[in-house]
Amino acid sequence: MPELFIAGQWAAARDGRTREIRCPADGALVAVVDEAGPDDARAATAAARAAFDHGPWPHTPAADRGRLLLRVADLLERDRAALARAESLDTGKRLVESEYDLDDIAACFRYFGALVASGDGGGRIVDTGDVPADSRVVREPVGVCALITPWNYPLLQTAWKVAPALAAGNSFVLKPSELTPHTAIALMRLLAEAGLPDGVANLVLGAGPSAGAPLTEDPRVDLVSFTGGLVTGRRVMAAAAPTVKKVALELGGKNPNIVFADADFDTAVDHALTAVFLHSGQVCSAGARLLVQDELHDRFTDAVTAGAERIRLGGPFDPEARSGPLISAAHRDKVEAYVAAGLAEGAVLRCGGRRPADPALARGHYFLPTVLDECTAGMSVVREESFGPVLTVERFRTEEEAVALANDTVYGLAGAVWTQDPGRAHRVASRLRAGTVWINDFHPYVPQAEWGGMKQSGFGRELGPSGLAEYQETKHIWRNLAPRPQGWFS
């Protein structure tokens, strides 16, 4: 069965091109899927445009849209096992992590479903006093949305965009990462099963320049929501500029994890490991920069190093594994280059820094959990996203210095502070220039809260009520109840 989904029909790529999807854990062939080109992207855009301009979805009562999203959440829960398996085969991530992701994905659909199922469209009546008029502010869908997602959390990132876009009444073309298409394909099936009208949801698979770029340039597209790398994000923003599309960008981070000497030692060490080594560091909010107060530095770095050395690597279905492979050979090369650059610039290798020697892992794109000590703010491995299992450790003496180091980055997605002094925790949290700050925690998932970056981590919020607002236009409707000539010129 072909894998592009356009106007409610499954379609093959027009020029017949396909792509092999291979599991990053062992290189095994997962499937061969259709590879869309610009003509397919344009056909999908036309379908989404027609569904928005002429179809029922934008005018379906919010309560009905909400009910459909709740049905999708039920279907996601029904198919949880199969979807988690598909996600793990595409990404190489541990099955248990894919299962957690599936819970978050269903929760996301449930959240946005419930948000609009109440039937409250988010509008308000304006008090016009003695003026004989009705004045209403209403929320309307933006139109056709191009939703472009990456490979690290394929279906979760998709849910964060698809659920609010649909809740608000938009139609969309989804372009998932070319490396991880399977759960996006499955989601199209579930949306159709839930009763979404044809043409509202469209799917093109394929490479960014050929299947994604045409969406960002097309004048029929009203909004682009993109999650991916900073360099591509700049390109997307530029491509959207000539037609002044609404743009939402989540471009990753270089997130500081600040540990003061008074932190709860064991908990902070435990979280510092999860912060950076979860999913082999391929997480936009990864705590890849550990900033430790001088007097704690040696003991803390020793403990984190010992923890990193204990992490067992393995494929998605290895129950003993605690972390998996990187997404591709090219990505592992990039991570290796960052580590080499860090060492050349004076970082001290505490552990890892190479591929595992275990022959059982030789066919996957594995890289050992790595701790680089004595790092400084100017190093490329500190400044840029390696997006791998690489922790850099910097020292600080004072609170002032910790904040300055933490904010010394072009990114501003997330950060954490560990201290038992609540005053200090709040001072530091309020001074960090990041869209999310955790105090004595790292990585909690809260669909009701908002997610998004400051600085070059992007703009636009996902999740929470603002996530819905991203996909809405605001309109003021004024109705004069006693129209009369004004007499200015007559």
Active site residues: 250, 284
Max CA pair span of the chain: 90
Per CB under 6 A, does 180 bind ligand TXE? no
Cβ-closest residue to ligand TXE?
208
Q: Is 281 in the site for ligand TXE (CB under 6 A)?
A: no
| CB-nearer residue toward ligand TXE: 284 or 403 | 284
90 near ligand TXE (CB under 6 A) = no
39 vs 309 by CB, closer to ligand TXE: 39
Complex with ligand TXE: residue 303 or 416, whichever CB lies closer: 416
Question: In angstroms, what is the minimal distance from the CB of 215 to ligand TXE?
Answer: 7
Cα 249 from chain centroid (whole Å): 9
Q: Is 411 within 8 Å of 256 (Cβ atoms)?
A: no
Contact segment (CB under 6 A) with ligand TXE among 97-105, 147-155, 336-344, 362-370 equals 147-155
Residue selected from 152, 225, 280, 293 as contacting ligand TXE according to rule CB under 6 A: 152
**Binding-site member from 113, 150, 164, 353 for ligand TXE (CB under 6 A):** 150
Distance CA 237, CA 217 (A): 10
Q: Is the dihedral of CA 22, 149, 446, 436 positive or negative?
A: positive
Told to check if 235 binds ligand TXE by CB under 6 A, we report yes
Pairing of strands 256-259, 414-418: parallel
Cα angle 447, 226, 161; round to 5: 35
Q: Using CA atoms, how far apart are residues 452 and 461, in angstroms rounded to an integer?
A: 5
Binder to ligand TXE among 41, 47, 48, 213 (CB under 6 A)?
A: 213
In the bound state with ligand TXE, the residue whose beta carbon lies nearer, of 125 and 231, is 231
Answer whether 257's CB lies under 8 Å from 268's CB: no
Applying CB under 6 A, does 263 fall inside the site for ligand TXE?
A: no
β-pairing, 289-293 vs 390-396, is: parallel
CB within 8 Å of 376: residues ≥ 6 apart: 345, 346, 382, 394
Stretch that binds ligand TXE, among 80-88, 197-205, 228-236, 436-444 (CB under 6 A): 228-236
321, amino acid identity:
A
If one asks whether residue 209 binds ligand TXE (CB under 6 A), the answer comes out as: yes
Q: For ligand TXE, how many residues bind (rule: CB under 6 A)? A: 28
Segment contacting ligand TXE (CB under 6 A): 31-39, 248-256, 270-278, 362-370? 248-256
How many whole angstroms separate alpha carbon 452 and alpha carbon 103? 21
Interatomic CA distance for residues 367 and 382, integer angstroms: 18
For position 229 contacting ligand TXE by CB under 6 A, the verdict is yes
The CA distance from 57 to 198, in Å, is 10
> How many angstroms separate the CA atoms of 111 and 116, rounded?
9
Q: Is 101 in the site for ligand TXE (CB under 6 A)?
A: no
User: Smallest gap, in angstroms, from Cβ of residue 250 to ligand TXE?
Assistant: 5
Extract the tokens encoding 182: 């399977």
> For the packed helices 95-117 and 80-91, what is the interaxial angle rounded to 10 degrees?
120
Pairing of strands 348-351, 370-373: antiparallel
User: Using CB under 6 A, which of 202, 232, 257, 436 touches ligand TXE?
Assistant: 232
What is the Cα–Cα distance from 436 to 443, expressed in whole angstroms? Answer: 10
Strand, coil or helix: what is 401? Answer: helix
Q: Pick between residue 334 and residue 355 the one whose CB is nearest to ligand TXE.
A: 334
Q: How far is the CB of 388 from ligand TXE (least distance, A)?
A: 8
| Cβ-contact 156, 108 below 8 angstroms | yes
CB of 151 to ligand TXE, least distance (A): 6
Among 178, 222, 373, 399, binds ligand TXE (CB under 6 A): 178
Contact status: 454 vs ligand TXE (CB under 6 A): no
Closest distance between ligand TXE and the C-beta of residue 60, in Å? 29
Member of 212, 256, 287, 356 binding ligand TXE (CB under 6 A): 212
CB of 232 to ligand TXE, least distance (A): 3
Nearer to ligand TXE, 149 or 255 (CB): 149
CA 23 to mean position of chain CA atoms = 21
Q: Of 150 and 164, which has the nearer Cβ to ligand TXE?
A: 150
Tell me which DSSP letter residue 212 carries. Answer: I
Least distance in angstroms from the C-beta of 156 to ligand TXE: 10
**Residues in a beta bridge with 135:** 478
Q: Answer yes or no: are the C-beta atoms of 86 and 183 closer than 8 Å.
A: yes
**DSSP letter for each residue of 15-68:** T--EEEEE-TTT--EEEEEE---HHHHHHHHHHHHHHHHHSSGGGS-HHHHHHH
List the one residue from 98, 177, 255, 301 that touches ligand TXE (CB under 6 A): 177
CB of 315 to ligand TXE, least distance (A): 21
**Which element (helix H / strand E) includes 477?**
strand 472-480
| Residue 387 binds ligand TXE, judged by CB under 6 A | yes
- 462 makes contact with ligand TXE (CB under 6 A): no
Contact call for residue 251 and ligand TXE (CB under 6 A): yes
The verdict on 453 binding ligand TXE (CB under 6 A) reads: no
Binding residues for ligand TXE, per CB under 6 A?
148-152, 175, 177-178, 207-209, 212-213, 216, 227-229, 232, 235-236, 250-252, 284, 331, 334, 385, 387
